[in-house]
Amino acid sequence: MNVKRVYSIAIDGPAGAGKSTMAKLLAKKLGFVYVDTGAIYRTVGYHMDLMGIGPKDADGVLRLLDDVNLEITYDEGGVQHMILNGRDVSGEIRTPEMSKIASQISALSCVRTFLLDMQRDVAKTHNVIMDGRDIGTVVLPKADVKIYLTASAEVRAERRLKELQEKGMDVKYETVLKEIKERDHQDMTRTIAPLKQAKDALLLDTSELNLEQSVAAMESIIRERIVL
């Protein structure tokens, strides 16, 4: 019996590099399922925040993990939605505060273990583009294509500022830049699964590229490595 070959593409990189935006566009172009792992961690962090548990309270988080019922769904446009205990919280998790909480809670081994199989199971049955901080190094170490996507902190801050302002948030560039740098430090220095470029990942710096050019560069990298 012939088993259908499935492909996995791992995209890692720092906050604000555009991983989610580009991965969504690529997934649509290639007919792959897009998995935003950052949203999964944000959702766990959101639940803990609602319950009054701080992201560094490992014992408290572990105690409440069994109460977390997560589901990933996709709308007609291929946009990922996070369902927490039966409720769509996709909007609530997209705030700077939730970003900070996600960074801290993702450093907890109990949370990473809790979510690891969930992420891997999707890749076993679907062609996936998965983005995060440790996809190529930990979650999908045997991914068919690995890309480390980055840009300067200043460029990432400008992009994130525009994104937040389009959502109606009143934020300043200096504040966003400071948060970007703090998030980088947290992600790169955490003990468990720190952000780093996998040895076999191709580095793509988009500081000088616009969105269209960045997506084209990523698509070229993918198509050179797998036959679709």
Is 204 strand, coil or helix? strand
pLDDT of residue 223: 94
pLDDT tens digit string along 59-109?
999 999 999 999 988 887 777 899 999 999 999 998 888 988 988 998 899
The mean of the pLDDT values for the chain is: 91
pTM above 0.85, yes or no: no
pLDDT tens digit string along 20-69?
889 989 999 999 999 988 899 999 999 999 999 999 999 999 999 999 99
Helix (H) or strand (E) holding 211: helix 211-225
In this structure, are strands 33-36 and 128-132 parallel, antiparallel, or unpaired? parallel
Reply yes or no on whether the pLDDT at 202 is more than 60.
yes
> Which residues 6+ apart lie within 8 Å of 197 measured at CB?
12, 136, 148, 203
Q: What percent of the chain has pLDDT over 70?
A: 99
